[in-house]
Amino acid sequence: MPFSQSSQLSVIVEFIEKKNPASILDVGVGMGQYGFLSRNNLETVHLFCANGKNVSQRPKQEWRVRIDGIEAFRTYLTPVHDYVYNNIVIGDAIDILPTINDQTYELVLAIDILEHFTKLDGLRFLWHLKRIASKAVLVSTPKEFLGQEVEANPYENHRSQWSEEELAEQGFVEILENRISWIAVYKPGSHTYHESQ
């Protein structure tokens, strides 16, 4: 579904704050919670202008952090997305990611997305995430297979389960603590990979 387990939130947001990226690509934005929390926690004082007794919202073009997203299911988008994200592309990530240049974003997020792909598409997906990120990729995926079929939105169907070993083979060697999900981090330059597109 288009939201994340609450046990992941603080772990992932703390990671994002420590990285303090100037640009983020959120793949599979869903309800937009990571975009919103990233905007709030990274932008902080840049969201508002205080002038004497007056406080106003700072214009979006003056924000410090660029947060873009990809979402396959347009129905999930709300006015919150319009406020938080600089740009959201609607469509299948497998089709969109190849159109993005190498190292375009400092941080790439794919929270609870990997399990929606077959293993073959998942490997292609991870390859592109790593190619696009200049500083880090963070993915999360359930530790156990959770069967899920959503007739109204097939993008929500679960098609694969990933192990810590499989993620490590793809260069995701740092695992953040969480009892429900693998929250795995890839850092460019820390692993040589030879997957094909």
Cα 90 to Cα 148: distance, rounded to the nearest angstrom: 22
Short-list 8, 26, 17, CA closest to 132: 26
Q: How does pLDDT run across 135-174, given as a tens digit for each residue? A: 999 999 999 767 666 565 555 666 688 899 999 999 999 9
Short-list 8, 14, 128, CA closest to 70: 128
In a domain, 38, yes or no: yes
Q: Are 126 and 139 in contact (CB under 8 A)?
A: yes
- Give the domain extent around 114: 6-186
136 forms beta bridges with 107
In a domain, 195, yes or no: no
DSSP labels, 31-64: T-HHHHHHHHHHHGGGGEEEETTEEEEPPGGG-S
Q: How does pLDDT run across 45-57, given as a tens digit for each residue? A: 788 888 888 989 8
In a domain, 192, yes or no: no
In a domain, 79, yes or no: yes
> Rounded to two decimals, what is the model's pTM?
0.88
Q: How does pLDDT run across 129-144, given as a tens digit for each residue? A: 999 999 999 999 999 7
Give the other-Cβ count within 10 Å of 42's Cβ: 22
Could you list the beta-strand ranges (E) of the chain.
Answer: 23-27, 48-51, 54-57, 66-71, 87-90, 105-111, 133-142, 174-176, 181-186
For 131, the token pair is 């190619």
Say yes or no to pLDDT of 193 above 70. Answer: no
In a domain, 157, yes or no: yes
CATH number for 75? 3.40.50.150
Q: How does pLDDT run across 75-132, given as a tens digit for each residue? A: 889 999 999 999 999 999 999 999 999 999 999 999 998 888 889 999 999 999 999 9
185 forms beta bridges with 138, 174
Total domains in the chain come to: 1
In a domain, 191, yes or no: no
Cα 94 to Cα 145: distance, rounded to the nearest angstrom: 22
In a domain, 194, yes or no: no
Task: State the pLDDT at residue 197.
Answer: 39
In a domain, 91, yes or no: yes
